Amino acid sequence: MTSREAQIRQPASSFALLVALSGPLAAGCSPPIDEADEANEYRVASPGLETLHEVPFDPAELQQQIDVPIDVAALAESETITLLFDTTDQWTPFSVETEDGQTIATSENYIEFEEGEGEDGSAHFLTRVEFDPHVGSHLIVRTDGAPDVLEGRVMLCDEMVTQRGNAGPSSLRAAIADVRDNGAVCFDPVSFADPGMGPVELHAHISTTKSLTITGTSPVPPEVTANGASRILSLSGATTIRRLVLRDGNEAYGGGLIYTNGGLKLESVILRGGVANQGGAIFSEAAPLQLIDTLVEDNQAWEDGGGIFTASPTSMVNSTLAYNAAGHSGGGLHTELYNATLSSTTVHHNTAHNGGGVTSYGAEFRLNGGSLVYSNTAFMGGGLDLDAGLATIDGASVFANVAVDVHLPYEWQSSWGVGGGILTRGPLVIVGGSTEVGMPNAVSGNTAAAGGGIAIMQSGEVWVRNDSAIEGNTAAVYGGGVLVHGSLTLEDDATVDGNHADSDGGGTHGDGTILVQDQASLANNTAGRDGGGVYNLGTVTLSGPNVLVTNNMAATTIGTGAGGGINTVCSGLLTYFVVGGYATGNSPDDVYAQPCI
């Protein structure tokens, strides 16, 4: 017997562990609470566990009596169900009672995972109960408190997966086929306690139209693989997946691991090794897609969405897209038609033709606080490729991305190697960069042939606000900080600082419109030829006495063209409304009006 097997607490009751459950789901509701109960500060979950399938508890709640209701009407055709209570640091006994206080079942110690075996590095103790739910109209799962427990959760399981085969009794395929609509499929923590026993291996994908939850109940997430034979799941109902690893799927069309059109929520899931034409890991359409604490890595799409292709409302929280690749657009994520929001999410080391990290076409896109987009590579838009809908960067950073130039160095108009950090054809508002200590500001340290930090194409409009900085970016040819074919507005205390172009326009370059106002500045930028701060073929307006263009440098000497601060060329228009100086300390000069040739 192995040390882990010795930790398994075998059931003391005569209940069978594996039970089939079916039947339609009725609406859940909470049990009545009398005045005496109201005096106790315990938690009652609503809707009930038959609908939620899992209820988490924080330490403060675990110090109190906890009641979780179950609506028996939802389980009308069920014979037996399994409940698991997963807590850290100690066993937590619980009971199942009727609403009048009659105890119908009590839990037993089931399995212990030693400290360090779970993802959170803590010891886990799982207690279990099986019971017949056909008593009264409501049941209550009750614990009288666990004051020394750090965290816990109670889980309802309609079907338990104990076998790793493609099909057959107690397999994942059978459990999904047998589960009630809006039911829960759980991986048995005893059967999947040892990762060395291998993954669930599928020979073909599993398809369902049911709404359901699929849960890995062990702190060590079970693995499911298709070994490259097919995708893993085709889902048409609203589905939640928790604490699983899905890997090595293959699909000729969309979704190498998962296809969904009914709504999908992933929590603490790893998606790895999927291959498809679109959406290497996930292809989602129509219904919402939500990722929480989820890793999407090492997936590939021949066309769009190396990690994820989504034509549905999308949100990612505290998740990661890494090392994915797409042949066309969106190395990590391709989103279109519906809004997408990334919060506290990291996008790194993805590759594509357009949008190495993310492409967003035709709808709003938000990169919110704590999000980082770095070390992605593409031909256009190394980090982000944005088109049409309003995009917002608020408390996030785009840095160290690369737009690769595969043409001759001066063919910057060929659409190659453009927009190292961001390429945008629509409106973009940069509210602020990351506030985390040691993290770079909004757009920093990116590289391209043209538009090292940002490339604003003809229809693009960019506003840089507050103390956001476009800094330390590099262009092999033009526009170290920003390539401006559309419009750029710098306002508040925004800066374009410390950027470099080997040719013209260390800070900005282009034939579009630039407005600098409030206390905004262009400083410390350098150019190998003309326009250390600005190389202007369009219109530049400096509005206000506190605007500053300073300490920029152009390498060309006076008399042959320069403009250390601003070089306005031929048809370019420079307008300024200032009181006092606005351009000072630039080298070899502050402003140079280059004649037409």
* Rounded percentage of the chain residues whose pLDDT exceeds 70: 85
pLDDT of 148: 84
**Cα(315)–Cα(155) distance, integer angstroms:** 25
Q: What is the dihedral of CA 22, 26, 28, 34, to 10 degrees?
A: -110
Number of Cα atoms under 13 Å in the Cβ half of residue 412: 26
Q: What is the pLDDT of residue 574?
A: 66
Contact 284, 260 (CB under 8 A): yes
In 158-303, DSSP assigns E strands to 159-161, 183-187, 200-201, 206-208, 212-216, 223-225, 233-235, 239-242, 245-247, 250-254, 258-260, 264-267, 270-272, 275-278, 282-285, 289-292, 295-297, 300-301
Which amino acid does the sequence have at 540?
A: V
Pairwise CA distance, residues 389 & 284, whole Å: 19
φ and ψ of 24, to 5 deg: -70, 160
3-state secondary structure (DSSP) of residue 60: helix
Q: How many residues does the chain have?
A: 597
pTM (2 d.p.): 0.89
- CA–CA separation, 468 and 419 (whole Å): 18
99-110 confidence digits (pLDDT tens): 888 999 999 999
Q: Which residue matches tokens 């292809």?
A: 283
Q: What is the pLDDT of residue 101?
A: 86
Collapsed DSSP state (helix, strand, coil) of residue 195: helix
On the question of a cis peptide bond just before residue 409, with omega within 30 degrees of 0, the verdict is: no
Pairing of the two strands 295-297 and 66-71: unpaired
**pLDDT, tens digit, 9 for 90 and up, residues 13-36:** 222 222 222 222 223 333 333 433
Alpha-helical (H) ranges within 145-225 are 172-178
Low-confidence ranges of the chain (pLDDT < 70): 1-46, 77-79, 115-121, 405-416, 557-561, 571-581, 595-597
Under 8 Å between Cβ of 241 and 172: no
Report CA Rg, the chain: 29
User: In angstroms, rounded to a whole number, what is the distance separating the alpha carbons of residues 90 and 196?
Assistant: 25
> What's the burial of 297, exposed, middle or buried (CB within 10 Å: 0-12/13-18/19+)?
buried
Residue 550, C-beta contacts closer than 8 angstroms, at least 6 positions apart: 521, 522, 523, 565, 583, 584, 585, 586
pLDDT at 228: 95
The angle at the Cα of 291, spanning 197 to 288, to the nearest 5 degrees, equals 125
User: Which residue type occupies 462?
Assistant: V
> In the predicted model, what is the mean pLDDT of the chain?
86
Burial of 442 (0-12, 13-18, 19+ CB in 10 A): buried
Nearest alpha carbon to residue 13 among 109, 90, 157: 109
Q: How far apart, in whole angstroms, are the C-alpha atoms of residue 190 and residue 112?
A: 9
Q: With left for phi above 0 and alpha for psi between -120 and 50, is residue 199 left, alpha or beta?
A: beta
Helices (H) and strands (E) in the chain, counts: 5, 67
pLDDT of 458 reads 83
Give the per-residue pLDDT at 138.
83
Judge whether 226 and 253 are in contact, CB under 8 Å. no
Return d(Cα 540, Cα 549) in angstroms, integer.
12
Taking alpha carbons only, the member of 314, 294, 298 closest to residue 306 is 298
Q: How many CB atoms lie within 10 A of CB 87?
A: 25
Written as six digits, the tokens of 324 are 């994915």
Are 372 and 347 a contacting pair, CB within 8 Å?
yes
CA nearest neighbour of 439 among 502, 355, 348: 348
User: Tokens standing for 343?
Assistant: 């919060």
